[in-house]
Structures are given as C-alpha cells and as structure tokens.
Amino acid sequence: MSVLEARGLAMGYRQRAVGADIDLALGAGEVLCLLGPNGGGKTTLFRTLLGILPPLAGTVRVADRALADWSRQALATRLAYVPQSHAGLFAFSVEDVVLMGRTARLARFSTPSAHDRGVARACLARLGVGHLAERVYTEISGGERQLALIARALAQEARILILDEPTASLDFGNQLRVLKEIDALRRQGLSILMSTHQPEHALRVADRIALLKAGRIVGQGPRALATADALADLYGADPADVARSLPQLATA
Amino acid sequence: MILAGHRTALRLAVLSAPVFAALLAAFAFGPYPLSPAEALAALWAGPSAVNDAATVVWQLRLPRIGAGFLVGAALAAAGAAYQGMFRNPLVSPDILGVSAGAGLGAALAIYFGLPLAAVQAIAFVGGLLAVAAVVFVAGRVRRHDPVLVLVLAGVAVGTLFSAGISLVKVLADPSVQLPSITFWLLGGLNAVAPADLWLAAPLIGAGLLPMLLLRWRVNLLSLSDEEAAALGVNVARLRGVLIVSATLMTAAAVSIAGIVGWIGLVVPHAARLLVGPEFSRLLPAALLLGGGFLVAADTLARSAAAIELPLGILTALVGAPVFLWLLARSGRSGT
C-alpha cells in the first residue's frame, strides 16, 4: 500500500511547466530515492508533493486522501519535510528550531509545553545530537544543522518523510551518519522519499529508486535499475566513466 | 527547559530596572524640575491634590509619558514582527515605507481638517497601502538578494509617499496647517492630549493582540515559506494577519506622535541580543525596551535645550549609526 502517491502529475509554475506524466508511489516503510540531474525537476516535484505548488494536472494522494483535502496543519502531522541544511537567519537555539516541528501538534494560540520540549530533546537524542540542544543553530556545523532539521521533522511525529538532498554539502563523516540515520528510521517503520546527487547513497539506503530527467520519470524500480547505462543516460555521461567510478553498479 | 524560562524572566526583570528608571526620570525632569521623591509623592497623592507638583505630574507629564511609552512599544513590536515575517533584520516600519505612508495619510487628513479619529483611519490606510506596494514590488523582482530588494523597494515607496507629503505641505495653508504638519512630521509628543491616548491605545492594543496570541507561530515565518508550510502553518494567512496588526500599530503610533523613526529598527535588535529571537520572549522585551527608550528620548528632547527638540531628530541620531553598523555586519549571521 502506498502512503504517498502521484498519478499523472504535471507540475510547474503558471507560465512554465517543469514536468508531466509523473507516476510515483512511496510504499509504507520503504525508502525511495530520487535520482536525476540538476534542473531535472526534483525540487519542483517535492514542492508539488508537499502541496506548496498546486499541480497543473493529475493528483497527489497522502495516506489515501487527496492532497487538496488536507489542511496544512493535519498534513504536517502525516508528512514532514527536511530541506537542505541552511544557515538560518536569526540565532534560535537548536532546541527552538526542533520545537518548531511541534507546531502542527499545538492549538492555534498555544506555545510549546514541557511535554513538547521533552519530545524535541528526545528527537535530538535519537539522532545522537542531544548535546546540541542549547547551542545556537546559526553557529553549529552544516552536518549538525542537517541532523537538527531531521530532528525537527521527527518532532512532527509524521510517518512520511521527504528529504531534499540530505547529504549535500556535508563532509564524508556526516554523510555516513545521515545515511545511517535514514536506515535506522526506515527500520522504525517510517516511509522516506529522498533525493540525492550521489547514486552510491541511493544504492546504500534505497529499497527502490526513481530516475527523474527533464521533468519525467524515466525509470522506477529496484536498485538494480541503476545500471551504468541507465545512470549515464540520466546524467548525460559516458557509461564507461560511470562504471569506473561506481564499481558496485549492477552490470547490464 | 524550565531553566530557560526562568532565565528569560530574570532578563526581563533586569531589563525593567532601567526602564523604570527612565520613567521616573521622565516624571522628574522638565521645565518644572522635581526630585524623584517629589515626583513619586505627587503620583502617590493622586490627581486630585491641589499643588503645582500634582498638576505637572498628572496633567502634563503623565499623558505625555504614557503616550511616549505606548508609541515606543508599538513601533518596537511592529518592527520585531516585520523583521521576523520578512526574514529581514534590516526592515522596520520606516524602512518599509509604512511610516511615510501613514504620514501621507495623516498629512492629507490634517490638510482637509478632519478629526483625529479620521486622521488615524487614513494614516492606517496609507500605511497599509505602502506596505502592500513594497511587498508587491519586492515579490515581482526575482534573481536578486531578497533582503536588499525589500529594503530598496521600501526606500523607493517611502520616497514616493514622502513626495506626496511635500506636495501636501506646498498646498497647505502656511499660517495654520503647515506648521502643524511640519512639526508633526518631525515627530514629537508635545501636542499629545489625553484624548489622543484614548483613541490610539485601543488601536495599538488591537494590533498587539494577534501578535501575543500567535507568538509561537510568528517564529515559523522566519523560515522559508516552504518549510513553514510543511510544518503546518498557513503562511499567507499568518503573514497577512501580522502585516495588518503591525501596520495598525504603526499607524496608530504615527497618528499621535508623527514620524518617529528608527525605533522599530534598532530596538528589536537590542531586544534580540538580550533575550534571543524566539518571539514569545522577544515581544515583551521589545515592548519594554521600545517604551523605555522613547520615554528617555522624549525626556531628553524636552529638557536638554532651551527649546524643545523634535523627537524624530534624537531617535535618528541614535538609529542611523546603528543601522549602518547592522548593514556592515549583515553579511555575517544575524542576531
């Protein structure tokens, strides 16, 4: 059963269509990795799946209910989004940043309670960064920020996560840490849709992969779908080069 | 966690001390000087006492100090809200053109000889028009640093409204209307009557109420729209409510005190340095500091020189250098 599903989706902006005919399904408890070149429409697709951009055609369903039928607040209790690690503007504490994930669980005029603070702390601890709670978000490293943003999504207590290039701009150690956490979250039963620029990351954590090129899904299926030829075609590279730099690929 | 709450309460208490000192000084200083003890005694004795001190404290200084505190608090709270919701530490009611818009509205109303309630209503419409124009223009300009675009759009729209104010001044009757428009544009509390307070206070309260109620959610507007929406916030509606609230507060402040610049820019920064950016802590700190700062500036304005200095000039003397300092360090992380 799929928890997040796009059917015949056309996406884009008023004057400019970015993609069309997108069929995508995220199964319960699986990790689906979206691969594709820059400008292929990954970000636009995420914005559409999150209900920030209205679809130009087709439908998006979350937990078997049309996206348009969800209120913002209710949707945020089901579907959480982890943006790329960003610098932040004001010097919020890491705990306050994570607490923002509790907003959908609060009554309109409430502020977070002691219980909410406990949840925020627990989410940080779950990712092994409990010690960051009192630190200032704008002053921690990019990797720590990414983990804080994942903790914020966990604080939403949503069962579906969308992660936009969670390993981008992280050093090697932090990349491994984030991949490990994604794997751990899947084992805890969360359903995860993520994009990445590194096929080897997809091969490590994904149950299935989807290839997005020029606004269209050109392949969707098990990891074995990522052959040197398929990736070469996706990124406009030489198959021999791809095979050389990713020896773990299945050979066609 | 509970500790953090205590720490904030402690900081607010520490903050209150200089604010109360500023209030006390405001009751004491002036053309008819009183000692702080005399001022307190006169306040304690009540408005019905028949002596000079009571008259000065209750009839002259109290309305003025009340107005000063209200105006300063309103401008600082509006500034804190604008900075958060536009994700821009360089904006404020004056930078966004709201003050000029409200100023043009008020100048027009004075020109047509309308009563104060109408002056306030038209000032509010002018302020709202200005901020709508700025947001519209900034939204159309893409591919540029949005922080800079918003500031520049605000400057341009503010200039347009200022030109309108100049036009009203040219057309105004030079003996009756012009002096009142001019002095009022420089900003000052010397013309505030208790009746003005009773009109402005409810409007400022009406603008403050949504900020107080939504104080947690305001924080989320400092994220990108996508993030805030994904966290469950109806971004457009929340921002709309806050723009109307902050503009209402600004317009009410402008309609009784004229254009007193810079407070809405500088005070939120100072408050953020003291208690951090979290809005439910920032708002009370900004209200206290803004009120205290304006009362102190007004005390200086009416007692530093033989003639009364326009308040807007004093706040600009403090605010403009601080703005330049902020601009110079805005490449680094904001406070």
Region B191-219 average pLDDT? 92
Looking at the complex, report in whole angstroms how far the Cα of residue B226 sits from the nearest Cα belonging to chain A: 7
**B335 — pLDDT class (breaks 50, 70, 90):** very low
* pLDDT score at A250: 63
Question: Is A90 close to B222, i.e. CB distance below 8 A?
Answer: yes
Q: What is the pLDDT of residue B326?
A: 76
Note the helical H segments in chain A: 42-49, 72-76, 94-99, 114-126, 142-155, 172-187, 199-205, 228-235, 239-245
| Residue boundaries of the structural domains of chain B | 28-90+204-222+260-335
pLDDT in tens, B274-323: 899 999 999 999 999 999 999 999 999 988 888 888 888 899 888 888 87
Check pLDDT > 70 for residue B223.
Answer: yes
Q: Using CA of residue B105, residue B110, residue B113, residue B119, what is the dihedral sign?
A: positive
Percent of chain B with pLDDT over 90: 42
| pLDDT tens digit sequence for A53-69 | 999 999 999 999 999 99
pLDDT of amino acid B5: 62
pLDDT score of B308: 84
Tell which wins on pLDDT, B334 or A228. Answer: A228
Residue B221 C-alpha, separation from nearest chain A C-alpha, in angstroms: 11
Predicted confidence (pLDDT) per residue in B306-319, tens digit: 888 888 889 988 88
Tell me the mean pLDDT in the region B168-183.
85
CB A224 within 8 A of CB A247: no
Mean pLDDT confidence for B135-141 = 83
Measured distance CA(B272)–CA(B195) in Å, rounded = 34
Chain A nearest CA to B110, separation (Å): 39
Of A79, A100, A121, the CB nearest to B220: A100
- Which DSSP helix (H) or strand (E) runs through A26? strand A17-27
Distance from CA of B233 to the nearest CA of A (A): 6
Judge: B232–A51 Cβ closer than 8 Å, yes or no: no
Q: Looking at beta carbons, which residues of chain B come within 8 Å of A121?
A: 1
Is the CB of A198 inside 8 Å of chain B's CB atoms? no
Q: What is the dihedral of CA B50, B54, B55, B56, to 10 degrees?
A: 160
Cβ pair B272:A81 closer than 8 A: no
Check if A125 contacts B (Cβ < 8 Å): no
Q: Percent of chain B having pLDDT more than 70?
A: 96
Residue B260: CA atoms inside 13 Å, Cβ hemisphere, count?
A: 41
Residues of B in contact with A79 (CB under 8 A): 230
Q: Which of A169, A150, A166, A235 is nearest to A204 (CA)?
A: A166
At A168 the pLDDT is: 86
In Å, how far is A47's CA from the nearest CA of chain B?
A: 8
- Tell me what pLDDT residue A189 has: 93
Global pTM? 0.90
Interface test with B, best of A4, A49, A73, A89 (most B CBs within 10 A): A89
Partner B contacted by A73 (CB < 8 A): yes
Residue of B nearest to A76 (CA): B232
Instruction: Check A109 against B233: CB less than 8 A apart.
Output: no
Provide Rg for chain A, Cα atoms.
18
Instruction: Decide if B225 and A52 are in contact by the 8 Å CB cutoff.
Output: yes
User: Cβ neighbours of residue B144 under 8 Å, at least 6 residues apart?
Assistant: none
**Assigned architecture for domain B28-90+204-222+260-335:** Orthogonal Bundle (1.10)
Q: How far apart are CA B279 and CA B285, in angstroms?
A: 10
pLDDT above 60: residue B68: yes
Sheet holding A65-66, edge to edge: A17-27, A2-12, A57-62, A65-66
How far apart are the CA of B18 and the nearest CA of chain A, in angstroms? 25
Task: Report CB contact under 8 Å: B219, A50.
Answer: no
Mean pLDDT calculated for residue range B23-40? 90
Strands (E), chain B: none
C-alpha angle B206/B209/B210, rounded to 5°? 105
**pLDDT score of B192:** 83
Tell me which chain B residues have a C-beta less than 8 angstroms from the C-beta of A74. 232
- Chain B nearest-CA distance from A200, in A, is 28
**Residue A210 DSSP code:** E
**A150 contacts in chain B (CB < 8 Å):** none
Burial A12-35 (b: 16+ CB within 10 A, else e): beeeeebbbebebbbeebbbbbbb
The pLDDT value recorded for residue B221 is 94
Contact B276 A103 (CB under 8 A): no
Are B75 and B290 in contact by the 8 Å Cβ rule? The answer is yes
Q: What pLDDT score does A252 carry?
A: 47
- Check residue A138 and give its pLDDT: 92
Q: Which pLDDT band holds residue B334 (cuts at 50, 70, 90)?
A: very low
Q: Is the pLDDT of residue B3 over 70?
A: no
Q: How far apart are CA B200 and CA B256, in angstroms?
A: 7
Let me know: does A14 contact A44? Beta carbons within 8 Å. no
Tell me how far apart the terminal alpha carbons of chain B are, to the nearest angstrom.
21
Going residue by residue through chain A, which has 252 residues, state the pLDDT in tens, using 9 for 90 and above. Answer: 799 999 999 999 877 889 999 999 999 999 999 999 988 899 899 999 999 999 999 999 999 999 999 999 999 999 999 998 887 889 999 999 999 999 999 998 999 999 999 999 999 998 889 999 999 999 998 889 999 999 999 999 999 999 999 988 788 888 998 899 999 999 999 999 999 989 999 989 999 999 999 999 999 999 888 888 899 999 989 999 998 888 887 654
The answer to whether the CB atoms of B335 and A52 lie below 8 A apart is: no
Average pLDDT, chain B: 87
**Is A122 an 8 Å CB contact of chain B?**
no
Confidence (pLDDT) at B312? 86
